[in-house]
Amino acid sequence: MNSIECDYRSDIDFRSNREHAKRIELSELKPMEITVYSAPWCSDCREAKRFLDQHKLPYTEINIEVTPGAADEVVKRTGKRAVPQFVIDGEWIQPYRPGEGFLYEDMAKRLGIEQ
């Protein structure tokens, strides 16, 4: 009688890879966590929030004028008292350049927005 060997490991590897691919796809669907440190008197802040709103990107706004410790946090993280500041998935990013304004192309690329 002839015996047939079956490599169960390859079937398990295939299922494992498929499950891994599903986990990657689901993690890619997770929206970014965006926090905007801003101030009401700041025109660059208004433009930064307008950009996020236009692209329907949800964010949490922290007004440094009324949130205790917020201005100090900006200085601690960036070395300067400058707003707006984005915190995208924990990474601090200055979305504008003084004298030039909001960095539309850079922020669109960073946030995965097709233009």
- The one-digit pLDDT tens for each residue of the chain (115 residues) are 554 444 444 444 444 555 555 554 544 556 789 999 999 999 999 999 999 999 999 999 999 999 999 999 999 999 998 999 999 999 999 999 988 999 999 999 999 988 6
Cα distance between residue 56 and residue 54, in whole Å: 5
pTM of the shown model: 0.73
Cα distance between residue 68 and residue 40, in whole Å: 15
Cα distance between residue 35 and residue 49, in whole Å: 10
Domains of the chain: residue spans and CATH: 34-110 (3.40.30.10)
What is each CA distance from 68 to 61, 64, 72, 74, 84, in whole angstroms? Answer: 14, 8, 9, 12, 17
Helices (H), 1-115: 8-29, 43-54, 70-78, 104-110
